[in-house]
Amino acid sequence: MLALVFAVQRGELVMRRFFLILAAVLLLPCASFAARADGPPAVAAAADLTFALPEIAQAFRAQTGREVKLSFGSSGNFARQILGGAPFELFLSADETYVERLRERGKTLDSGKLYARGRIVLFVPAGSAIRADSDLADLARALDDGRLKKLAIANPEHAPYGRAGREALQAAGLWEKTRGRLVLGENASQAAQFAASGSAEAGIIPLSLVMAPAMAGKGQYATIPESSHRPLRQRMVLTAGAGGTASAFYDFLQKPEAEAILQRYGFITPSDQ
């Protein structure tokens, strides 16, 4: 009889431990979610903002004490991730078309705000035999005489700056000639790295990346006329469910201090237009 009592007590203890462990496991997702909610909001930003946006985030932190978590990449890829449920609270796209698509799918609070217009340049690294000119005339000659073996641009299928680069080459009648010599970056920042490192003799990349201190002395560039491609209208938007810090950062991006930083990196801001 005593043995039976011990067995029952031991069984109750085992069951109690089981339910405690089960409760702890079930509560883990809630604890993880709370930790994410309390942390800095995730911001998805086009790669052309790689240098400008951290400066703006630093100024935002200095004024408010709040932080944001920045991720950089191609606008098309970020749009697909947000459609798939990625927990970004703010999206800064290099092409406003992606913002509109997200709005149509109910993924944003509204249609957002235009924060800048971007420019592209022909960049040639130090030591390249190609001359940087805005009409791409020497690039055309270099295709014929063999000086151009590799040309870096972002992938035009999902990177707006790559799309603008393709359109500029088409306008100059050079797209078909260059297609076999393209080095495609996953985003504009990677294309700039290819060009600056000498992996390509030239690159069509964002002006904002060329003007970064990290690119000083890496080569020469010429700004390509906007008439050669569709405008790079860059729009930002808060996603559905964005929190207070993301909303505050969104508002800060529209202030003169943030605009001044964007202008320093070659962007045309709403106050310029």
d(CA 11, CA 4) in angstroms, rounded, equals 10
- Tell me the mean pLDDT in the region 168-191: 96
On the question of pLDDT at 9 being above 90, the answer is: no
The model's pTM: 0.84
Q: Are 220 and 203 in contact (CB under 8 A)?
A: no
On the question of pLDDT at 30 being above 70, the answer is: no
Query: Bridge partners of 73?
Result: 46
| Residue from 103, 87, 48 nearest 246 by CA | 87
d(CA 178, CA 218) in angstroms, rounded, equals 23
Least confident of 37-46, 216-225, 262-271: 37-46
Q: Which pLDDT band, with edges at 50, 70 and 90, does 273 fall under? A: low
Residue at token pair 């109910």: 106
Domains of the chain, each with CATH number or no CATH: 38-117+232-272 (3.40.190.10), 119-228 (3.40.190.10)
d(CA 90, CA 44) in angstroms, rounded, equals 6
Mean pLDDT, the chain, integer: 89
Q: How far is CA 30 from the centre of its chain?
A: 30
d(CA 246, CA 66) in angstroms, rounded, equals 10
Residue at token pair 């209208």: 233
Q: Are 252 and 56 in contact (CB under 8 A)?
A: yes
Joined together, the tokens standing for residue 129 give 């035999």
Helices (H), 46-148: 52-64, 75-83, 96-104, 137-145
Helices (H), 212-255: 244-252
Residue at token pair 């089960």: 22
